[in-house]
């Protein structure tokens, strides 16, 4: 294990411990209620970045995977009484499957076409859910989750810790994919797909792997959602705002490394939480739009790109 990996492991354990101890310090459950959403976006941004950042394939359909995960866990719980952890595993499998399916359909086409096709995935999934009575159609489904276990301080605190676990697991997966042979291959794909193919990089297999991992993480972000809100309906889980944030957050943080989406999500999601409470949800969307345009036009490599440029310019 390298020195960096040791630091990462210690940091991950420290974050989890802090999450476990936090309810004893912060008594107001609202912090955990809001924190859940922020962590959810850390997972979404991280999942999106595996395919979008490392391989350079832009997925507009993050909400499709998120919604599929949410519906999977809600359906399994309501129909078969399968608890959330089982639903989480099922959501990951469905997300990975959807990812591979999407990959097979669309990876032969590149760039813009891929992006448009992924936008289609959301609409098709939303239409399907609307038309299946067993999944509640347009009315949605109500989920009465079990009470939280005794060690948790309350339902919000429990859901918060669960999302923290998912976030740490997702970030670890994204970090592993970045520093291993997978990440090297995907970087080659991103730089030049033809050159990579010619040098013997198994591009199609790597891209399918990235699709599967990205899909699984995005669906995992959605799986606890029905238990968090006690309710799922197509319009919210397939919302454009999820797809937008999934792209905006990594782009603002920086797409080259696992840290970029984490920074972007923490910054953007907390600002949005504050903006939604204190101002209005319309201005919140306006804010995301303007920040997005500014970053794309002025700092295309995100915050981490700015930091890297600054440290290159000042000789040490």
Partner 1 sequence: MTTLDILLNVLVSGVLFGSIYAVVALGLAITFGILHIPNIAHPALVIMGGYFVVQANRLGIDPLIAAALGIIPFYLLGMLLYTFYANSFERRGRAEVLQSLTLFFGLSLVIEIFLVLLFGSELQSVSAPYIGTSLKFGQIAIPGRLLVPALLGPVTIGLLWLYFKYTNSGTAIRAVAHDERALSIAGLDPAAVKRRAFGLATATAVIGGTALVLIGPIDPFGGRFQIGRVFAIVVLAGMGSIPGTLVVAIMLGIAESLVSSYLNPAWSPGVAFAILLAALALRPQGLFGAAR
Q: Write out the residues near partner 1 by the rule CB under 8 A.
A: 52, 56, 58, 60, 105-106, 108-109, 111-113, 115-117, 119-121, 123-124, 126-128, 130-131, 138, 240, 244, 247-248, 251, 255, 282-283, 285-286, 288-290, 292-293, 296-297, 300
Residues in the chain: 316
Q: How far is the CB of 119 from partner 1 (least distance, A)?
A: 6
Q: How far is the CB of 137 from partner 1 (least distance, A)?
A: 8
Task: Select from 124, 154, 129 the least CA-distant residue to 32.
Answer: 154
Q: How far is the CB of 102 from partner 1 (least distance, A)?
A: 9
25 or 112, CB closer to partner 1? Answer: 112
The separation between the first and the last C-alpha atoms of the chain, rounded to the nearest angstrom, is 28
Q: How far is the CB of 147 from partner 1 (least distance, A)?
A: 36
Structure tokens at 108: 């032969």
51 or 88, CB closer to partner 1? Answer: 51
Q: Which own/partner contact pairs does 103-108 have at CB distance under 8 Å and 24+ positions apart?
A: 103/207, 103/208, 103/211, 103/212, 104/208, 107/57, 107/204, 107/207, 107/208, 107/211
Rounded to whole angstroms, how far apart are CA atoms 69 and 95? 7
The string of DSSP codes covering 256-278 is SSSHHHHHHHHHHHHHHHHHHHH
Structure tokens at 287: 């804010």
Q: How far is the CB of 300 from partner 1 (least distance, A)?
A: 5
Rounded to whole angstroms, how far apart are CA atoms 4 and 101? 35
Q: How far is the CB of 161 from partner 1 (least distance, A)?
A: 33
Rounded to whole angstroms, how far apart are CA atoms 296 and 194? 27
5 or 110, CB closer to partner 1? Answer: 110
192 or 230, CB closer to partner 1? Answer: 192
128 or 307, CB closer to partner 1? Answer: 128
Structure tokens at 290: 């303007």
126 or 233, CB closer to partner 1? Answer: 126
């Amino acid at each position: 294990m390298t020195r960096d990996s040791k630091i990462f492991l210690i940091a991950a354990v420290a974050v989890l411990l802090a999450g476990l101890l936090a309810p004893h310090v912060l008594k107001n459950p609202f912090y955990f209620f809001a924190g859940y959403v922020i962590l959810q976006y850390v997972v979404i941004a991280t999942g999106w970045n595996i395919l979008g950042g490392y391989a350079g394939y832009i997925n507009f359909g993050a909400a499709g995977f998120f919604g599929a995960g949410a519906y999977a866990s809600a359906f399994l719980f309501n129909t078969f009484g399968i608890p959330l952890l089982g639903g989480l595993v099922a959501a990951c499998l469905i997300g990975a499957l959807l990812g591979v399916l999407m990959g097979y359909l669309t990876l032969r086409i590149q760039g813009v076409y891929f992006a448009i096709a992924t936008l289609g995935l959301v609409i098709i999934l939303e239409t399907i859910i609307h038309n299946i009575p067993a999944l509640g159609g347009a009315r949605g489904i109500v989920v009465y989750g079990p009470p939280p276990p005794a060690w948790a301080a309350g339902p919000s605190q429990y859901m918060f810790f669960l999302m923290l676990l998912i976030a740490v697991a997702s970030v670890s997966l994204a970090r592993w994919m970045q520093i291993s042979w997978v990440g090297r291959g995907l970087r080659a794909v991103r730089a030049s797909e033809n050159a990579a193919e010619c040098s013997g990089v198994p591009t199609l297999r790597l891209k399918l792997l990235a699709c599967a991992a990205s899909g699984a993480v995005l669906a995992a972000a959605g799986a606890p959602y029905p238990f968090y809100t006690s309710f799922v309906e197509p319009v919210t889980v397939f919302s454009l705002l999820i797809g937008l944030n999934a792209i905006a957050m990594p782009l603002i943080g920086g797409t080259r490394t696992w840290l970029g989406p984490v920074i972007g999500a923490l910054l953007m999601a907390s600002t949005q939480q504050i903006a939604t409470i204190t101002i209005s949800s319309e201005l919140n969307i306006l804010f995301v739009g303007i920040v997005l345009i500014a970053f794309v036009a002025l700092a295309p490599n995100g915050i981490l790109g700015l930091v890297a440029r600054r440290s290159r310019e000042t000789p040490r």
